[in-house]
Amino acid sequence: MRGSMFSKTGRLLTVLACIASGNAWADILLGHSGDLSGNTAALTTDYVRGMNAYFDDLNRKGGIRGEKIKLISMDDGFNPDKTLENTKDLIDKQNVVALVGYRGTANLLKVMPTVQAAGIAEIGNTAGAKSLRDPYMPGIFHVRASTTDEIEAEVKHAWTIGINRIAAMYQDDAFGKEGLEAFVAALKSRNATPAAVAPVPRGTADVAKAIDVIAAANPQAVILIGQAKPAAAFIKGIRAKGVSPQFFVLSVASGLHAELKEPSAGVIVSQVVPYPFTELGNPVVREYQTIIAQGADKKFSYNSMEGFLNAKLVARALQKTSGPVTRAKIIAALEGMSNEDLGGFVIRYTKQSNLGSHYVNLTMIRADGSFAR
């Protein structure tokens, strides 16, 4: 309660200062904490690029009822303790009205008690963890499908093409263990068990032991439940042993080509947002391409597409509030989005569901780093 009162008071003082300086309204402040310097920095930066592209375009068009959106982005190096420190700063000192686009299951689990105590929404993130979805966790609003959805889609595809001896390398943390649980469950539903499983320490590319364990099983396929750097190291290392299964990676490792280059060709990647490279009749993709093409970095990518979608969702929630914008009004607006079409990508929330989307599509990396559908 005290933090909430402090935030409201700070917001009021900001508005009064803005009026005194001749501006009718203050900026609408949004907060982001993410890995801008660690193993996932390239992906985080690209995601933020997508968010800022949408917000900048919206601001040029007048913002939200004349108020401009400002995104305050802070580096946490993928360290949950630093994520919590940043989050407290964003809530109590920066007086943001919402938190957006966080990265990492462990990071989000660390901050959610603080987020809930402050009565603020965390909108969109790159964590697919079941523990952030089931049972329902108030205060967090997902845009992407869950890791369970991604792994089920990958196992289903493998089964369809006759691959049933599947192993998994997993990141040894909450995210990886939940992914492993989903993998085991997907196989169990098909009366099968993993060919092998092996952990990799979080935040490292220390894959030597995992390579030995999985190479010994000689599986037909390996699902890599983790980030791009360890996935790249694993693929390179296991091939050096003469083992060449079909590789599957999750959307969080969609930047694999940047780490592995041409040897990433043929790796199957599950994606949780629409294909950003050609329009294919999708209105939000057309909008994304038009706006991204106006920026300094005109490259289309899945990560910036996801950030763009998240920014559009945030703006839609802001537009559904009546001014002045408050944290509680944003949460109420999101909870009322039972069938929110962002332009061919539909989001569904209720007061007891924060899932947002179950959209998953499989792609394959080409030698040049592009994706085949």
Tokens of 34: 């993410």
String of b and e for 205-241 (b: at least 16 CB within 10 Å)?
A: bebeebbeebbebebebbbbbbbbbbbbbbbbbbeee
Q: Give the count of alpha carbons within 13 A of 23, CB side only.
A: 12
Final residue in a domain of this structure, among 222, 245, 271: 271
Whether residue 144 is predicted with pLDDT greater than 90 in this model: the reply is yes
Domain boundary among 239, 271, 303: 271
Which residues neighbour 250 within 8 Å (Cβ) at sequence distance 6 or greater? 128, 147, 150, 151, 179, 224, 225, 226, 269, 270
Tell me which amino acid residue 273 is: V
Q: Whole domain around residue 348: which residue ranges?
A: 2-144+280-356
How many independent structural domains does the chain possess? 2
Tokens 């590319």: give the residue.
Answer: 205
pLDDT digits (tens, 9 = 90+) for 32-69: 999 999 878 888 999 999 999 999 999 999 999 999 99
Give the pLDDT score at 43: 87
The predicted model gives 184-210 an average pLDDT of 96
Length of the chain: 373
* Residue recorded with tokens 């969702």: 313
**11 has pLDDT over 50:** no
Residues 13 and 124 reside in one and the same domain: yes
Does 363 fall in a domain?
Answer: no
Specify whether 260 is located in the same domain as 306: no
On whether both 112 and 56 belong to a single domain, the answer is: yes
Please compute the mean of the pLDDT values over residues 2-16 and round it to a whole number.
43
Q: Count of CB atoms within 10 A of residue 161's CB?
A: 10
- Are 56 and 130 in the same domain? yes
Tens of pLDDT, residues 198-227: 999 988 899 999 999 999 999 999 999 998
Q: Which of 277, 274, 276, 267 is nearest to 154 (CA)?
A: 267
Statement to judge: residues 105 and 161 lie in one domain: no
pLDDT tens track for 84-111: 999 999 999 999 999 999 998 889 999 9
Whether residue 23 is found in the same domain as residue 122: yes
Contact present, 30 and 317 (Cβ < 8 Å): no
Which helix or strand (DSSP H or E) is residue 138 part of? none
pLDDT for the residue numbered 359: 96
Looking at the fold, whether 34 and 105 belong to one and the same domain comes out as yes
Helix (H) or strand (E) holding 323: none
Please report which helix (H) or strand (E) contains residue 13, including its range.
helix 2-20
Say if residue 302's pLDDT is above 50: yes
- Strand 221-225 to strand 197-201: parallel, antiparallel, or no bridges (unpaired)? unpaired
Question: Is 224 contained in some domain?
Answer: yes
Is it the case that residue 128 has pLDDT exceeding 70?
A: yes
Q: Which has the closest alpha carbon to 96: 88, 85, 104?
A: 88
- Average pLDDT score over the chain: 92
For β-strands 340-341 and 346-350, DSSP reports them as: antiparallel
Task: Please tell me the predicted confidence (pLDDT) of residue 279.
Answer: 78
Tell me the β-bridge partners of 29.
70
Contacts of 233 (CB under 8 A, 6+ apart): 205, 207
* Mean pLDDT along residues 287-293: 97
Q: Could you tell me if residue 372 is inside a domain?
A: no
How confident is the model over 320-361, as pLDDT tens digits? Answer: 998 799 999 999 999 999 999 999 999 999 889 999 999 999
Strands 140-141 and 122-125: parallel
Residues 320 and 213 occupy one common structural domain: no
Q: Are 98 and 310 in contact (CB under 8 A)?
A: no
Omega before 283 cis (within 30°)?
A: no
202 Cβ partners below 8 Å, 6+ apart?
A: 106, 171, 172, 173, 176
> DSSP state, 67?
B
244 lies in the same domain as 168 = yes
| CATH classification of the domain holding 338 | 3.40.50.2300
> 24 and 90: one domain?
yes
Identify which of 160, 93, 171, 85 has the alpha carbon closest to the alpha carbon of residue 128.
Answer: 171
User: What does the DSSP assignment read for 181-233?
Assistant: HHHHHHHHTTT---S-EEEEETT----HHHHHHHHHH--SEEEEES-HHHHHH
pLDDT in tens, 15-34: 443 433 333 446 999 999 99
Q: Which of 244, 271, 298 is the C-terminal boundary of a domain?
A: 271
pLDDT at residue 281, as a whole number = 77
Same domain, 174 and 214: yes
Q: What are phi and psi of 215, to 5 degrees?
A: -60, -35
> In the prediction, which pLDDT does 286 show?
96
Radius of gyration of the chain (CA): 21
Residue 105: its pLDDT value, please? 87
Task: Looking at the structure, tell me whether residues 167 and 253 fall in a common domain.
Answer: yes
